[in-house]
Amino acid sequence: MAYQIEYAYTCHIGKVRNNNEDNFWCCGESLDSENKGMSHVRSGKIKQKDFPLLAVFDGMGGESCGEMAAFLAAESCGEFYKEKKKEISEYPEEFLNELCFQMNRAVCDYGQENKINSMGTTAAILAFGADQVYSCNLGDSRIYRVSPEGQIHQLSLDHVLGGGRFGKPPLTQYLGIPEESMGLEPTITAQEAVIGTRYLICSDGITDMLTDSEIAAVLAREVPVAETAELLVEQALQKGGRDNITVILCELAEQEQNWFRKLLSYFL
């Protein structure tokens, strides 16, 4: 099935934090290691045949280690994607597993070279095949699917330990795990590509502030993805904005025909 992806993305430092430990990879765009987020929502369109990849990273670690981990993951993601993106069509799960391995190595190598023992980042990724959409995550940055009928479903799995009675529970999976200590086990799922379906990738700056029902209510509005992304950020800020906020929102749409094909179909 030929389709295109209409997408919007932004990254906000929030109302409490002094630094931004979030980053992303969205159709070739990401942030520098030291940044204060973005001033506005950006949007665009891309055809599925161009093998788009969307990803959110939420870094962790003191003394600027979190933003460096998220930056290294985004940088490694972009490098691997540019070299291997055609494998999304033929070997999507192998592509995503290898992508996570390469990003993890980039974070671990930096930590070893700089003698940093505690740095890491979550990862939440979407890749688009011809008939399937593939989600992949490590940590607690989430991926939601909203059907054309407005039903919301969390595709990602929260890799956390216990119930978090005393604050946020520690992550059991993330980028930055030394290979000798435990293996990466990303959660990978596949869903049928359906026109009108929306997908949200976000850091916990959204999910710690808004309930699933509140997120669903925003995503179900019949407004463009850029406006919807802006509304999500605004609501998270109104609820306190205690963490950095990163949002990538996309919608599957029918591929636009060029003028020649339109003319040809008219006569046929």
User: 76-100: per-residue pLDDT in tens?
Assistant: 999 999 999 999 999 999 999 999 9
Asked if 54 and 125 count as a contact pair (C-beta separation under 8 A), the reply is: yes
Residue 140: φ, ψ to 5°: -115, 10
Pick the CATH number of 3-267 from 3.60.40.10, 3.40.50.2300, 3.40.50.300, 3.40.50.970: 3.60.40.10
Average pLDDT of the chain is 93
Kindly list the distances between the CA atom of residue 125 and the CA atoms of 111, 117, 183, 252, in Å, as whole numbers in the listed order. Answer: 23, 25, 19, 16
pTM, whole model, 2 decimals? Answer: 0.94
- The residues, any chain, with a CB within 8 Å of residue 148's CB and separated by 6 or more, are 194, 195, 196, 197
Interval 174-197: pLDDT, tens: 999 987 777 899 999 999 999 999
d(CA 129, CA 193): 8
Q: Which of 124, 100, 94 shows the shortest CA–CA distance to 176?
A: 100
Each residue's pLDDT tens digit, 199-225: 999 999 999 999 999 999 999 888 999
Residue range 142-158: average pLDDT?
96
Question: Percentage of the chain with pLDDT > 90?
Answer: 85
Among 250, 110, 248, which residue's Cα sits nearest to residue 194? 250
What is the band of 41 on the pLDDT scale with cuts at 50, 70, 90? very high
Percent of the chain with pLDDT over 70: 93
Residue pair 103/95 in contact (Cβ under 8 Å)? The answer is no
